[in-house]
């Protein structure tokens, strides 16, 4: 938790100082909505209704630690989507603007990017989606017809 502490001190020094001195957090702070408090080891934790949740540390969106935690969770869950990653990250950490942080990591994952590319289907040519009589465009139908006739002939000659 030393790393969390260092990162919190880098990004939330003002909030930690205020809380340590028994003062309220300034309204401008990103943490204001979370009603944070100092837990054991002077670590910032999420307050409000989540005060009694197991372990939840505030972590800043922009820190590399947050990105690493999210990325680790993304890989651990075999490239899960943003909501699944956020849910499992929040079991221990509370990234500020979490949805944004997770989406940013997710959009940069090369594996997921390639999968998304693969899933997108190209446009079908007009011939393929315009109703028309058989054999009008493609030669495939005629090959099937020839095979069908050959098969019929074979069956017919076998019965003779």
| Sites of contact with Zn ion (CB under 5 A) | 79, 109, 111-112
Shortest distance (Å) from residue 61 CB to Zn ion: 19
Selection from 111, 88, 108 nearest residue 98 by Cα: 88
Cβ atoms of 14 and 28 closer than 8 Å:
no
Cβ atoms of 65 and 96 closer than 8 Å:
no
Shortest distance (Å) from residue 138 CB to Zn ion: 39
Nearer to Zn ion, 34 or 105 (CB): 105
State how far the Cα of 156 lies from the Cα of 120, in Å rounded to an integer.
46
Nearer to Zn ion, 38 or 109 (CB): 109
Nearer to Zn ion, 8 or 66 (CB): 66
Nearer to Zn ion, 116 or 150 (CB): 116
Shortest distance (Å) from residue 112 CB to Zn ion: 3
Shortest distance (Å) from residue 74 CB to Zn ion: 5
- Alpha-carbon distance values, 42 to 15, 21, 49, 58 (Å): 11, 12, 20, 12
């Amino acid at each position: 938790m030393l790393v969390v502490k260092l990162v919190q001190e880098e990004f939330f020094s003002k909030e930690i100082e205020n809380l340590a001195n028994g003062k309220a957090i300034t309204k401008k702070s990103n943490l204001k909505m979370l009603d944070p408090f100092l837990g054991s080891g002077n670590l910032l934790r999420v307050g409000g209704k989540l005060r009694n949740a197991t372990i939840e540390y505030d972590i800043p969106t922009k820190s590399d630690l947050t990105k690493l935690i999210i990325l680790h969770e993304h890989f651990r869950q075999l490239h899960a989507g943003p909501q699944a990653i956020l849910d499992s990250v929040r079991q221990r950490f509370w990234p500020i603007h979490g949805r944004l942080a997770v989406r940013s990591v997710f959009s940069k994952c090369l594996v997921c990017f390639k999968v998304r590319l693969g899933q997108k289907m190209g446009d079908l040519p007009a011939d393929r989606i315009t109703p028309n009589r058989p054999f009008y465009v493609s030669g495939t139908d005629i090959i099937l017809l020839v095979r069908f006739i050959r098969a019929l002939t074979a069956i017919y000659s076998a019965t003779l």
